[in-house]
Structure 1
Amino acid sequence: MNRIAQGIVLVLLGAGALGSTVSTDLYLNYVQAGFRPFLIAAGAVLIALGAIVVAAEARSALRGDAPAEPAGCGPGHDESGGHGHGAPRVAWLLLLPVLAVFVVAPPALGSYTAENASTGEPPSEGGSYDELGEAESGGPAEMEIQEFIARAWTDEERSMEGMTVRLTGFAVPAPEGEGWYLARLQMACCAADAIVNRVLITDRPEPPEDSWWRVEGTWQPPEGDLRSVRDHRFSVAAMEEVDNPPDPYE
């Protein structure tokens, strides 16, 4: 790979970063929304560096300058000895992320990850939540699955009991064979550290895997210690299929 090719690779990598952040929300499949400015800056720097490299090599070629010999390489040097000029051929693998973004566009993590990822742990103490109440329109209280589970684990007064709640997530098969999960993945930084938040549904037929649903229903509080429950049960009163949200994570 000569220096012009290296510069082109830098430009393509930068274009991939900008293409997934400026014109689309594709980056939300992999990182938190707060990383957008940094990705834009990194993409701009890569494009600028690549353009500088290509321009410098083009000017050098127009002037007819001979490429500098690497140290230790003379006219009789045998390149088969492992001292190749420029970057090694493996550097072309840097193009794979670009192809992934422009050609494949890997989707957000889904049910396969939710089945195998670790579930959230009960908080050491109750969080600071708004007081529960019906929505202003008189409809159900809408909350994230993460908040629903945290309340179910920590609210010893069980204030959610009997209250109609609306949750949105994707369908995940239950490996144990009982019902299915409505799940949402939560990430602190990027998709690599995602953990799963989920509720168990047993009173509705299992929908297609990875399909997104908005469900309304009630929490089924367990007997005994709330923190000992692995998967809190949710009784569904109504459900409708929805489009995948732009930001699939909580």
Structure 2
Amino acid sequence: MNRIAQGVVLVLLGAAALSSTVFTDLYLNYVQPGFRYFLVAAGAVLIALGAAVVAGEVRAYLGGGAGGKDTSPEPGPGCDGDHGHGAPRVAWLLLLPVVAVFVVAPPALGAYTAGSAETAAPPRAEGSESRLDPLAEPGASGPVEMEIQEFINRAWTDEERAMEGRTIRLTGFAVPNTEGEGWYLARLQMACCAADAIVNRVLVTNRPAPAEDSWWRVEGTWQPPQGELQSVRNHRFDIETMDAVENPPDPYE
């Protein structure tokens, strides 16, 4: 791989970063929305560096062709030998991320991750229920819409059990329960990127399991446990209505 090829690789990597942030929402499969501007800046820098490398090599080549003497050293082992600026052929593997983004971009994490990963652990801080916002008055505005992480947090920490008997609306994807009855409605929550994602899920036993990874907006009720709230790892949710929805642009909470 000569210097021009290296510059082209930098340009392509920068273009991949820009195409997944400026022109599409693909980056949301991997990182939080707040990282968009950092990715845009990184892509612009890569394109500028790659273009500078290519331009410099082209100028050097044209200058040498006009009568300048080529004083480039002999290439070493494992180099391709173009103008002495060779690099190990393994450097071509740098193109794989570009191919992955442009050709076979990995999808967001889904049912496989949610089914095999540990669920989010109950919060340990005492008094966390005091930080919960009060729910809307019953019947004031229809079902109470929540993210699954909020539902789980209330189910674990609200000793007043304010959700009991209330109609709750949740949106998530279907995950088979391979270790017991029913299936899960799940959503992944990440602090930084997909690598640190944790699973928030509720257990559904009163409806047949839909297709794995299909997205649903459901309305139903929480089934509170008989004992301690935080002794339950998978809180039950009885569905009253469920409607299929399109995959959201940002699949994480």
Give me the whole-angstrom Cα distance separating, in 2, the residues matched to 1:138 and 1:16. Answer: 44
Instruction: Identify the residue that residue 145 of structure 1 maps to in structure 2.
Output: 148
Equivalent of 2:195 in 192, 213, 232: 192
Instruction: Identify the residue that residue 173 of structure 1 maps to in structure 2.
Output: 176
Give CA deviations for 1:27-71 in whole Å, capped at 9, x if unaligned: 0000000000000000000000000000000001111152632xx
Report the alpha carbon displacement of residue 129 of structure 1 after superposing the two structures with TM: 2.5
Instruction: Identify the residue that residue 112 of structure 1 maps to in structure 2.
Output: 112
Q: TM-score, normalised by structure 2?
A: 0.91
Instruction: Identify the residue that residue 101 of structure 2 maps to in structure 1.
Output: 101
SS at match of 1:159: coil
Instruction: Identify the residue that residue 182 of structure 1 maps to in structure 2.
Output: 185
Alignment of 1:127-146 (within 5 A): 128-134=131-137, 138-146=141-149
Instruction: Identify the residue that residue 34 of structure 1 maps to in structure 2.
Output: 34
Alignment of 1:220-239 (within 5 A): 220-239=223-242
Give me the whole-angstrom Cα distance separating, in 2, the residues matched to 1:187 and 1:138. Answer: 30
Give CA deviations for 1:189-244 in whole Å, capped at 9, x if unaligned: 10011110000000001000000000000000001111010100001010000000
Distance change in 2, residues 1:241/1:146 (3 Å): same
Distance change in 2, residues 1:129/1:241 (3 Å): same
Tell me the amino acid that sits aligned with residue 96 of structure 1.
L
Distance change in 2, residues 1:199/1:51 (3 Å): same
Report the alpha carbon displacement of residue 106 of structure 1 after superposing the two structures with TM: 1.2
Query: Quick check: 1:134–1:141 contact (8 Å CA) kept in 2?
Result: no
Query: Quick check: 1:141–1:164 contact (8 Å CA) kept in 2?
Result: yes
Count of residue pairs the alignment pairs up: 242
Instruction: Identify the residue that residue 18 of structure 1 maps to in structure 2.
Output: 18
Query: Quick check: 1:114–1:183 contact (8 Å CA) kept in 2?
Result: yes
Give me the whole-angstrom Cα distance separating, in 2, the residues matched to 1:89 and 1:223. Answer: 64
Give me the whole-angstrom Cα distance separating, in 1, the residues matched to 2:189 and 2:46. Answer: 30
Give me the whole-angstrom Cα distance separating, in 2, the residues matched to 1:18 and 1:210. Answer: 28
Which of structure 1's runs of 4+ aligned residues deviate more than 4 A?
A: 82-85, 134-137
Distance change in 2, residues 1:176/1:45 (3 Å): same
Give me the whole-angstrom Cα distance separating, in 2, the residues matched to 1:215 and 1:201. Answer: 11
Please list every run of 5 or more consecutive structure 1 residues that lacks an aligned counterpart in the other structure. none
Query: Quick check: 1:134–1:140 contact (8 Å CA) kept in 2?
Result: no
Give me the whole-angstrom Cα distance separating, in 1, the residues matched to 2:104 and 2:139. Answer: 43
Equivalent of 2:247 in 237, 244, 247: 244
Tell me the amino acid that sits aligned with residue 117 of structure 1.
A
RMSD: 1.7
Query: Quick check: 1:117–1:194 contact (8 Å CA) kept in 2?
Result: no
| 1:68 to 2:68 alignment | no
Identity %: 73
| 1:217 to 2:220 alignment | yes
Q: TM-score, normalised by structure 1?
A: 0.92
Report the alpha carbon displacement of residue 139 of structure 1 after superposing the two structures with TM: 1.1
Report the alpha carbon displacement of residue 147 of structure 1 after superposing the two structures with TM: 0.5
Give CA deviations for 1:89-128 in whole Å, capped at 9, x if unaligned: 1111111111111111211000001011221111123252
Query: Quick check: 2:79–2:87 contact (8 Å CA) kept in 1?
Result: no
Report the alpha carbon displacement of residue 136 of structure 1 after superposing the two structures with TM: 8.2
